[in-house]
Amino acid sequence: MLVCKEWLYFDMQGNKFGHIQRAPVDPILGTTIAFRQDSAPEKINLGVGAYRDDSGKPYIFPAVAEAERRIAADASINHEYLGIDGLESFCTLSRDLILGEDCPAIAEKRVVSCQAISGTGALRVGAEFITWFLKDQTPAVLISNPTWGNHVTMFQKQGLNVVQYPYFLPATRALDFEGMMNSLRTAAPNSIVLLHACAHNPTGVDPTREQWDEIAAVMAERDLVPFFDSAYQGFATGDFEGDAYAIRSFARKGFQMFISQSFAKNIGLYGERIGCLHIICSNTETADIVRSQVLMVVRPMYSSPPCRGAYIVQKILSDPELRASWIRELQAVSQRIIDMRAALVHELTTLGAPGDWSHITKQIGMFSFTGLTPAQCDVMITKWHCYMLRNGRISMAGVNTRNVNYLARAIMDAASS
């Protein structure tokens, strides 16, 4: 019998990967998979972190479609590599959008801006930069409890000491401001504090402006470094200026800080993976040095970012007509989420669902922390085919005028169980 020498060789090597154990399913991705496999016609996907219109369909901003048309017709645009730090005009426009064109740090040339692979990439580059240059002087990275699922893992994987600070009070379904402030007051100097700029994920609960000012005062007193994650500017309330209040206020107060900026939600460019990392330094000379080292962080990671999303955002932000169109549409998108919150509370109240559900309209942004227990969430999923995270978070983008009554009945039943 003939034996294939090549096969015999590989067989002798043994199973090189046999020791690797299967990874747990990501909760959010697992929810989406379960939803797709469910054949029930009444099923609702409340786990997806992407906007859906009132028909439950993905939404493309008209400004995006027009920008793509113009890009396709522009012979000067090609598919060549961007620089390591991305499209310069995109970075400048993104910086001005989030900090405000009148930000003193911009005028003083203290801001380093680097295009990133959406907000996740900006966080990742920032985390690695901290590991390279600030790890020895960073006692801890403080992250809210709860927070977006990737935050803790991302910084822990960099070997940084992650400590979670209290943020949400289940009893009141509101901000645990005192718990948060107590953690900041006792944090070691030079610790980095990850802050959700607006529309906190997953709770939808934000500090007031007065509370932000108190947070800033304590962080300045304790010499803490802010790392803002901004995924919802303009999407949270429809107001770009208001949604950027915390970041702009901290910048004007003179903080040196990191900012992760994403255009996934507020322009609907989820799959284009377009974002920006900004680092505000103390002076121009330091900013030049930091910029040079950010390039060195990116180079061995992914070399240079993709160009399509950058061209789209650049077109929209630089053209008055497209920008105005985008802002109008974004305000409409934001208002639909607000309307669905009100509609859900109305249905729950009308049905006589047990408890107070006013927190749903007090929260902002894409998500609502319902307050349902894991067992009650299981009822929502298995009995009512309403797919959500077991921590009680639902995506308000999955709620529409056709399913809001059904969802309210499901919540009422689950809350009564």
Q: What is the pLDDT of residue 9?
A: 56
**Measured between alpha carbons, how far is 100 from 245 in angstroms, rounded to an integer?**
10
Q: Which residues are catalytic?
A: 148, 229, 265
Amino acid at 329: E
CB 275 within 8 A of CB 85: no
96, 54: one domain: no
Domain membership flag for residue 20:
no
Q: What is the pLDDT of residue 13?
A: 67
48, 133: one domain: no
**Measured between alpha carbons, how far is 96 from 31 in angstroms, rounded to an integer?**
37
173, 310: one domain: yes
Domain membership flag for residue 74:
no
Q: What angle do CA 347, 353, 355 make, to 5 degrees?
A: 120
3-state secondary structure of 281: coil
343, 406: one domain: yes
Give the DSSP H/E element, type plus range, for residue 14: none
Domain membership flag for residue 270:
yes
- What pLDDT digit, counting tens, does each position of 183-198 carry? 999 999 999 999 999 9
**CATH code, domain with 201:** 3.40.640.10
Domain membership flag for residue 300:
yes
Domain span at 106: 81-318
Quickly list DSSP for 18-75. Answer: TTPPPPPPPHHHHHHHHHHH---TT-EE----S-B-TTS-B---HHHHHHHHHHHH-T
Domain membership flag for residue 15:
no
**CATH code, domain with 341:** 3.90.1150.10
Phi/psi for 198 (5° steps) reads -165, 160
**Measured between alpha carbons, how far is 410 from 372 in angstroms, rounded to an integer?**
11
Give the DSSP H/E element, type plus range, for residue 394: strand 393-395
Residue 133: how many other CB atoms lie within 10 Å: 15
As given in the structure block, the two tokens for residue 302 are 């992914």
Residue 34: how many other CB atoms lie within 10 Å: 16
Amino acid at 32: T
339, 301: one domain: no
Domain membership flag for residue 251:
yes
**Measured between alpha carbons, how far is 19 from 181 in angstroms, rounded to an integer?**
45
- Beta strand extents in 58-167 (DSSP E only): 111-117, 141-145, 162-166
CB 377 within 8 A of CB 411: no
265, 366: one domain: no
Q: Report how many domains make up the chain.
A: 2
Q: Tell me which of 318, 334, 369 is where a domain ends.
A: 318
Question: 101-121: b or e for each residue (b if 16 or more CB lie within 10 Å)?
Answer: eebebbeeebbbbbbbbbbbb
Domain membership flag for residue 19:
no
Amino acid at 353: A
Q: What is the pLDDT of residue 32?
A: 84
**Measured between alpha carbons, how far is 389 from 369 in angstroms, rounded to an integer?**
10
Instruction: Report in angstroms the alpha-carbon separations of 198 from 30, 202, 239, 256, 304.
Output: 26, 11, 11, 19, 29
**Measured between alpha carbons, how far is 263 from 70 in angstroms, rounded to an integer?**
19
Q: Tell me which of 283, 318, 353 is where a domain ends.
A: 318
Low-confidence ranges of the chain (pLDDT < 50): none
Instruction: Report in angstroms the alpha-carbon separations of 141 from 158, 411, 414.
Output: 11, 36, 37
129, 256: one domain: yes
107, 234: one domain: yes
89, 53: one domain: no
> Is-above-0.85 flag for pTM?
yes
CB 394 within 8 A of CB 388: yes
309, 387: one domain: no
- What pLDDT digit, counting tens, does each position of 245-291 carry? 999 999 999 999 999 999 999 999 999 999 999 999 999 999 999 99
Q: Which of 170, 401, 154 is nearest to 258 (CA)?
A: 154
Instruction: Report in angstroms the alpha-carbon separations of 40 from 287, 397, 398.
Output: 55, 20, 16
Q: Which of 183, 182, 124, 134 is nearest to 156 (CA)?
A: 124
As given in the structure block, the two tokens for residue 227 are 């790392």
191, 314: one domain: yes
Domain membership flag for residue 2:
no
Q: Tell me which of 318, 337, 357 is where a domain ends.
A: 318
Sheet containing 274-280: which strands, arranged edge to edge? Answer: 111-117, 274-280, 257-262, 225-230, 192-196, 141-145, 162-166
Q: What is the pLDDT of residue 12?
A: 59
181, 233: one domain: yes
